[in-house]
């Protein structure tokens, strides 16, 4: 990595022999910035990616504190498995070859030390568990889980489709 400029560290993605005279400067080395840099290089542009953090990855990084590992990334892989809308993008970027996508039944555990909310990936199981924890909130829980069920039917491929010119 290059020298810092005003606290921002440039990351230069190298590759592609048919380099254009045009240059793209990308602010932020999160998944979107890194992907934009890779695609730009694949298409012959010179690129510079600037990131203020000491590591690339943006929200797709993890950190440790007091013996716990916090990983804020896993939800960014939504729709990345084989046959899902973002899988081809990850293939283009060389990120999934030889790697298995794991479908976890549990997204997260949240506890206050006495009670634990388990955020299940299956909305039916999530609904049953939440109602078990708080029967008085059943109407709101059902509405929430109905919204989750509706979202699972959302066609995410539209988010990866190039707009018509």
Residue 40 inside a domain? The answer is yes
Q: 110 with 93, same domain?
A: no
pLDDT above 70 for 39? yes
Q: Each residue of 59-97: pLDDT tens digit?
A: 778 778 898 887 767 556 667 777 777 788 888 888 888
The band of 1, judged by pLDDT with boundaries at 50, 70 and 90, is: very low
96 lies in which domain range? 73-103
Residue 159 inside a domain? The answer is no
Q: 109 with 96, same domain?
A: no
Residue 163 inside a domain? The answer is no
Residue 165 inside a domain? The answer is no
For residues 92-126, b (16+ Cβ closer than 10 Å) or e, as one string? Answer: eeebbeeeeeeeeeeeeeeeeeeeeebebeebeeb
Q: What is the mean pLDDT of residues 39-59?
A: 88
Q: 93 with 110, same domain?
A: no
Structural domain count, the chain: 3
DSSP 64: E
Backbone dihedral angles phi then psi of residue 144, each to the nearest 5 degrees: -60, -50
Q: 7 with 51, same domain?
A: yes
Q: Each residue of 121-132: pLDDT tens digit?
A: 899 999 999 999
Rounded to two decimals, the pTM is 0.56
The band of 154, judged by pLDDT with boundaries at 50, 70 and 90, is: confident
Contact indicator for 59, 72 with CB cutoff of 8 Å = yes
Tokens of 163: 């707009």
| Averaged pLDDT of the chain | 81
Q: 78 with 122, same domain?
A: no
3-class secondary-structure state, position 137: helix
Q: 10 with 55, same domain?
A: yes
Angle at 142 between CA 141 and CA 148, to 5 degrees: 90
Residue 67 inside a domain? The answer is no
Paired with 106 in beta bridges are: 120
Q: 27 with 79, same domain?
A: no
Q: 110 with 92, same domain?
A: no
The band of 9, judged by pLDDT with boundaries at 50, 70 and 90, is: low
Q: CA 31, 9, 5, 42: dihedral to nearest 10 degrees? A: -60
Q: 44 with 4, same domain?
A: yes
Distance CA 117, CA 129 (A): 8
Distance CA 58, CA 53 (A): 8
Q: 119 with 139, same domain?
A: yes
């Amino acid at each position: 990595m290059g020298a810092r400029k005003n606290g921002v560290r440039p990351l230069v993605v190298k590759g592609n022999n048919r380099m254009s005279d045009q240059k793209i400067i990308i602010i932020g080395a999160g998944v979107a910035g890194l992907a934009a840099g890779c695609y730009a290089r694949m298409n012959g542009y010179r690129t510079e990616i600037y990131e203020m953090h000491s590591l690339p990855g943006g929200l797709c990084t993890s950190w440790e504190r007091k013996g716990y590992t916090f990983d804020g990334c896993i939800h960014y892989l939504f729709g990345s498995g084989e046959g899902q809308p973002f899988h081809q993008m990850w293939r283009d970027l060389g990120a999934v070859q030889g790697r298995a996508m794991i479908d976890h039944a549990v997204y997260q555990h949240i506890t206050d030390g006495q009670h634990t909310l388990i955020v299940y990936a299956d909305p039916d199981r999530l609904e049953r568990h939440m109602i078990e924890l708080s029967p008085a909130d059943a109407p709101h829980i059902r509405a929430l889980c109905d919204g989750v069920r509706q979202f699972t039917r959302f066609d995410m491929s539209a988010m990866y489709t190039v707009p018509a010119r």
